[in-house]
Amino acid sequence: MFHIADEKDILQGKITDVYFERTLRVLKAKGVNPLVRAEFIAKSFPDCWPWAVFAGLEEVLHLLKGLPLSLRTVREGTVFYPFEPVMEIEGRYQDFCIYETALLGLVCQATGIATKAARFKRRADGRMVVSFGARRMHPVLAPMIERNAFIGGCDGVAVVKSGEVIGRDPMGTMPHAFIICMGSTVEALRAYDEVLEPRFKRVALIDTFLDEKFEALNVAEALGERLFAIRLDTPASRRGDFYRILEEVRWELDYRGFHGVKLFVSGGISEEDIPVLNPLVAAYGIGTSISNAPVVDYSMDIVDVEGRPLAKRGKFSGRKGLYRCTACGDRRVLPIQESPGGCTCGAEYEELLLTVLKDGEVLTEREDPTLIRERVLRETEGLSLS
Ligand SMILES: [Zn+2]
């Protein structure tokens, strides 16, 4: 059997730290069940990220719908900063006590992946970024990982099931194993071209047997105009100066008139590599860096009990409003009863926390992942990465 929780386990609250289960038993025995509000904030982000992209809400709603709870959150794909409340759950504590572990897991990992993808997409400066890292993670997580990589800014996902989740065709080139089975890169490419439908772009993987430069010319001559790109997944042991290899391949292709053939790179590409490679590269396949993105450590803390502000030490009590100026982007966190008034720039503030669940009823339509992705691209434009 697979070592996984199924949907029922999660919905029944079995994915809970046992101390919540014990707490629930004691609270029930003593008849204590206050109406509380608990908020989700992150005090800091991993790797000194200055901002993060909120993600995971769709699954949170799937978990909470039908329960006697209400929820205010920012929209998925909204950029936020440390100490800003991004989600607030309201209800009798016994009704959601055992879900804290699962709720945090849903938003912490999704937010980390979406943010990392957004950072890659920013660095790629308009070039294509494809999620290739599902294979580094437990397969049960692949659709979640790639859905959040996509909304964060990846242009495509690799796994078939992930494509179904986001409503897009998955993207891919060809594996080394295919070329090895066929005996040569050119043979493999010719067979691919012969068998597969023209709507799949012809991208030749050229680092299997021979030197990248000569293999690039072989495939370009074999396929001519139909060759869309060549992909270099050159092993680290052979890479030397990867930029220089790419430059040489580009030169040789251009010299022979193959100006239209693009360069696609993959294999251990880090965020920092992207600006260096951008002048030569049209598309990136990003694996582990996105699928194994650091998580954003939200905490869930009670801030209000029976309508009165109350929070643990080190935590601002009370319900809050989160506001953003529609013109200059200035941000305010205020007690819920206070209005932000007008911004000093002359424009108005908008409230970012919206009620999406009321007494178990979902008030919002499911958002198309493509629209969430567009929000991320819009909101992260021009933001500093460090
Ligand atoms: Zn303003």
Q: Is the pTM of this model over 0.75?
A: yes
Q: Phi and psi for 39 in degrees, rounded to 5?
A: -115, 155
Report CA(332)–ligand 1 centroid distance (Å). Answer: 11
Report CA(331)–ligand 1 centroid distance (Å). Answer: 8
Report CA(75)–ligand 1 centroid distance (Å). Answer: 20
Across 112-123, b (16+ Cβ under 10 Å) vs e yields bbbbbbbbbbbb
283 contacts: CB under 8 Å, gap ≥ 6: 127, 128, 129, 130, 229, 262, 263, 264, 265
Report CA(324)–ligand 1 centroid distance (Å). Answer: 8
CA distance 258 to 173: 19
Report CA(322)–ligand 1 centroid distance (Å). Answer: 14
CA distance 216 to 208: 11
The residue type of 257 is G
Report CA(353)–ligand 1 centroid distance (Å). Answer: 18
Report CA(143)–ligand 1 centroid distance (Å). Answer: 38
Measured from the Cβ of residue 69, the count of other Cβ atoms closer than 10 Å reads 18
Please tell me the predicted confidence (pLDDT) of residue 352. Answer: 98
CA distance 264 to 256: 19
pLDDT tens track, the chain, 386 positions: 999 999 999 999 999 999 999 999 999 999 999 999 999 999 999 999 999 999 999 999 999 999 999 999 999 999 999 999 999 999 999 999 999 999 999 999 999 999 999 999 999 999 999 999 999 999 999 999 999 999 999 999 999 999 999 999 999 999 999 999 999 999 999 999 999 999 999 999 999 999 999 999 999 999 999 999 999 999 889 888 999 999 999 999 999 999 999 999 999 999 999 999 999 999 999 999 999 999 999 999 999 999 999 999 999 999 999 999 999 999 999 999 999 999 999 999 999 999 999 999 999 999 999 999 999 999 999 999 99
The residue type of 86 is V
Report CA(342)–ligand 1 centroid distance (Å). Answer: 8
Report CA(329)–ligand 1 centroid distance (Å). Answer: 6
Report CA(346)–ligand 1 centroid distance (Å). Answer: 6
Please identify every residue whose CB atom is under 5 Å from ligand 1, which is an ion: 325, 327-328, 330, 343, 345, 347
Enumerate domains of the chain plus CATH numbers: 7-113+294-320+352-380 (3.20.140.10), 119-291 (3.20.20.70)
Report CA(261)–ligand 1 centroid distance (Å). Answer: 45
Q: Which two tokens stand for residue 236?
A: 């680290």
Report CA(350)–ligand 1 centroid distance (Å). Answer: 10
Report CA(344)–ligand 1 centroid distance (Å). Answer: 6
Report CA(43)–ligand 1 centroid distance (Å). Answer: 24
Tokens 């049960």 belong to residue: 140
Please tell me the predicted confidence (pLDDT) of residue 104. Answer: 98
